[in-house]
Structure 1
Amino acid sequence: MSLRYSAGVLLFRRSPELQVLIGHMGGPLWAKKDASAWSIPKGEYELGQEDPRLAAAREFTEELGLPVPEGEWLDLGQVVYGSGRGKKQVTVWAVEGDLDPELIVPGTFEMEWPPRSGRTAEFPEIDRADWFDPETAREKLGAGQRPFLDRLVELALQR
């Protein structure tokens, strides 16, 4: 079993309460789902070939079409989730900053759609992004990413 590696950035702000920016996963498989269908902007990188923090910044920009806002990078650590060939180790940093979701220009991916049709279609990696309080974000994020939210809330209480 091989482990895949992914890195991302969880953008947060205080307005005045803590909010996080997450994205709804794009493509037809997620179009009609909301609970557990949102994600921290992140993406895969090759272990030993790329610095995880640089990969996190690159993936944030690829998925949202905007750079990570200036600010201190707070290490939220790593989480391993998934099973079988889908198992991945995700590393996330939190950055305090602001970003207008209306300005997002998502990256795209291609997949065969409809299934077994032989046709390829292009879809946005994230079809929308928005700011949510931690409680709402918890419902929207996939279970494997929720520990990062817990860690951010804990850090925010200390600051």
Structure 2
Amino acid sequence: MTLTVAPNETVETNFRAMMRKFPATVTVVTGRNDGVDHGMTVTAVTSVSMDPPSLVVCLNNRTYLHEMLLEQPNFAVNVLTQKQRPLSDAFSGKVAPEDRFRPDEWERHSSGVVMLAGAHARVVCRRVAAVPYGTHTLFIGQVIDAFVDDVTRPLLYEDARYCVSQPAA
């Protein structure tokens, strides 16, 4: 027996309001297919497991990056620094896809995907699962390479604005 829940406008409205107040790390997820690099700003990224090291990236089914990750197994998650807000905006659609990758900012990983040289953190993954759910697909990637800069601070996004983390008092 399948339980179906009728849409509830109050739940949907409250959930949307709650998610606006839910701080998220700003990343640019990149992929490569048929010799073309592509990326987009994504905040729905989190770890899945330490054994094996893996993470999940949630992408809307209507995006080009979604199709790319279904076609090619490798992708990179680039955690932006607080100084990289313009990159977040660019990869959110404010800059044409063909103008987003400046050669001096990106380097190619041996897996073929590009990584942001000055990112707070970079993680290269090989897709091991793609789980469709509603309007999105959860791409689970096993980590094949990782780097973090101990000096920079990650860029966060909360309530439709950029934020930075600070140690609690």
TM-score after normalising by structure 1: 0.26
Which protein has the bigger helix share?
A: 1
Q: 1 or 2 for the larger relative contact order (CA 8 Å, sep ≥6)?
A: 1
- The structure with the largest alpha-carbon Rg is 2
Structure with greater strand share of residues: 2
